[in-house]
Amino acid sequence: MLRIGVGYSTSMNNESCVRKYVGSQNDKYRITKKDFFIGKKVLVMGLGRFGGGVDVTKFAAQVGAKVIVTDLATKQQLSDSIKKLKEFPDIQFHLGSHDPADFRQADIIVANPAVPANNKFLQFARRHNKFVTSQIGIFFQLCPATIIGITGANGKSTTAALTAHLLKKSKIENRKSKFGGVWLSGNIGNEPLLTTLNQIKANDLVVLELSSFQLEQLSEIQKAPKVSLLTNLTPNHLDRYGTFADYCAAKENIFKFQKLNKDNPVVSIFNTEDKIAAEWFEKYKKDSGRVCIKFSTNDVSWDIRDCFALPGRANLSNLAAAIAIARYFGIDNDQIKNTLSTFKALPHRLELVEKINGVRWYNDSKATTPQGAIAALEAFDQPKIIIAGGYDKNLSFDELGRKVCEHAKVAILIGQTAEKIADAIRSVGPSNTRIEMAASLSEAVKLANQLAVSGDVVLLSPACASYDMFENYEHRGREFIRLVHQINS
């Protein structure tokens, strides 16, 4: 019989909802090997226009499951993701809606991280005693390697990439390292997780960027990384969580469910320049079997800073976090300096697109929170024109408004949140910052080009998600790059 444990969370409308998870003590529903899926009917809920469900769909098909994919989006909307699955002709696609019959007939439902736990179809599945799991949950149960998990409101991707880079390059230089290969995955360009399992060995390290949504899914099976790091915490995804406290609770799962063992300690790493992280450091350092490490920008020596090309204090904090992990695994300062010079900024994260007539254009489309955009504004001393706005996640723009007045000569605003950001700027009071509205990104780029003079920096740093006008932040960033390249054509 299926044994159910009960935990509590908060739904997006701030009402309490019951969340059920399969108790790890139940052998029937503990995934210990891929044979678990052979011959079973696996329903993947949420293929995603961004391809978030492609990896688990491929995995299920490869290990002998009968796979159905269901998504509210249409076949046309999901065409790019469907193309990635063309080698598996037996996969069935039920698109444009969800059918309760599919959930009733399935043995296993794999939910996309974007699907909240209180979704009515997942609740329906649980009422019918179906096994509800996730891509990240399956990976944590099958991965033989040590997992390094990195989360936070901002800087996750860059910190994860920096960490993997330092470990991988230093491993090549120092063949006496105790660890084997180094893998990087998570939300970074949808790198595969499950379809790489055959290649991952027990002495390898896997560096994962983990979202709050994925951490909620891991909490359902009470799993967490062996090494967990928090970059920072500022409000995000309040359209889903309702309150900042509930968002923080989701993030805390990365530490809460670490399995403590004195003989094989878990590692918790906190940015003590962040108030909540500092509080959690004090809270968790008392736990037996846990190694607690703190980091801050002050830990980065000047000789290391000189080897680091990424601009701004936020990137310096990301570097400090990566160094904290690298040092734990035995990487010394000389190795860190030798490997830093070859690290390049990730796409869509303060990415220099082009210098035109003395104006530098930066694509920071991944800045989907006000704090991310603030970090971009503070990364440059030059006069700045910021292009901001997008999908409304119910975040406050008050602090962004103050920082725009301090650091930008022009704010060009687009999307659903344009008026909200404009109001936040105006509420600061008289300032020299000029506010312009644009109906599209194309119009915003043209306007920025008209207003910019030699020595300026033009930043696409939206402070918002992209879903009001684009498929995702990558689509938005690519379009910005295309528009910038067209300026002199």
Q: According to the model, what pLDDT value does residue 186 have?
A: 81
Least confident of 77-86, 164-173, 257-266: 164-173
Q: Which tens digit of pLDDT belongs to each residue from 203-255?
A: 999 999 999 999 999 999 999 999 999 999 999 999 999 999 999 999 999 99
Q: CATH fold of 4-138, please?
A: Rossmann fold (3.40.50)
The pLDDT of residue 146 is above 80:
yes
| CATH classification code of 351-485 | 3.90.190.20
Element (H, E) at 407: helix 398-407
Q: Which tens digit of pLDDT belongs to each residue from 325-366?
A: 999 999 999 999 999 989 988 889 999 999 999 999 999 999
Specify the higher pLDDT residue, 19 or 244.
244
Least confident of 143-147, 165-169, 208-212, 248-252: 165-169
pLDDT band at 143 (very low <50, low <70, confident <90, very high): very high
Percent of all residues in the chain with a pLDDT value above 90, rounded to a whole number = 83
Average pLDDT, the chain: 90
Range 118-137 average pLDDT: 95
Nearest to 266 by CA among 290, 295, 293: 290
Least confident of 185-199, 260-274, 368-382, 404-418: 185-199
The pLDDT of residue 5 is above 70:
no
> CA-to-CA distance for 453 and 378, rounded, in angstroms?
20
92 strand-pairing partners: 68
Give the angle 320-325-328 at the CA atoms, nearest 5°: 125
Q: According to the model, what pLDDT value does residue 300 have?
A: 96
pLDDT band at 169 (very low <50, low <70, confident <90, very high): confident
Under DSSP, the state recorded for 366 is: T
Q: Diameter of the chain by CA atoms?
A: 71
pLDDT band at 178 (very low <50, low <70, confident <90, very high): confident
Residue pointed to by tokens 């690298």: 326
Where b means 16+ CB within 10 Å and e means fewer, 19-28 reads: bbbbeeeeee
Count of CA atoms in the C-beta half-sphere (13 A) of 475: 13
Q: According to the model, what pLDDT value does residue 471 have?
A: 85
The pLDDT of residue 188 is above 80:
no
Give the angle 410-415-416 at the CA atoms, nearest 5°: 120
Asked if the domains at 143-340 and 351-485 fall in one CATH topology, the answer is: no
Q: According to the model, what pLDDT value does residue 191 have?
A: 73
Q: According to the model, what pLDDT value does residue 397 have?
A: 97
CATH superfamily of 143-340: Mur-like, catalytic domain (3.40.1190.10)
The pLDDT of residue 85 is above 50:
yes
Domain boundaries, the chain: 4-138, 143-340, 351-485
pLDDT band at 173 (very low <50, low <70, confident <90, very high): low
pTM for the full predicted model: 0.86
pLDDT band at 7 (very low <50, low <70, confident <90, very high): very low
Q: According to the model, what pLDDT value does residue 49 have?
A: 78
DSSP output for 147-209: EEEEE-SSSHHHHHHHHHHHHHHHHHH-TT-S---EEEESSSTT--SGGGGGG--TT-EEEEE
> CA-to-CA distance for 44 and 368, rounded, in angstroms?
27
Range 440-451 average pLDDT: 98
Q: According to the model, what pLDDT value does residue 29 have?
A: 56
Q: According to the model, what pLDDT value does residue 334 have?
A: 92
Nearest to 385 by CA among 417, 351, 420, 432: 432
pLDDT band at 51 (very low <50, low <70, confident <90, very high): confident
Range 44-69 average pLDDT: 93
Range 241-270 average pLDDT: 94
Percent of all residues in the chain with a pLDDT value above 70, rounded to a whole number = 92
Distances (CA, A) of 185 to 192, 333, 382, 466: 7, 25, 34, 22
Least confident of 136-150, 342-356, 396-410: 342-356
CB atoms inside a 10 Å sphere around CB 341: 11
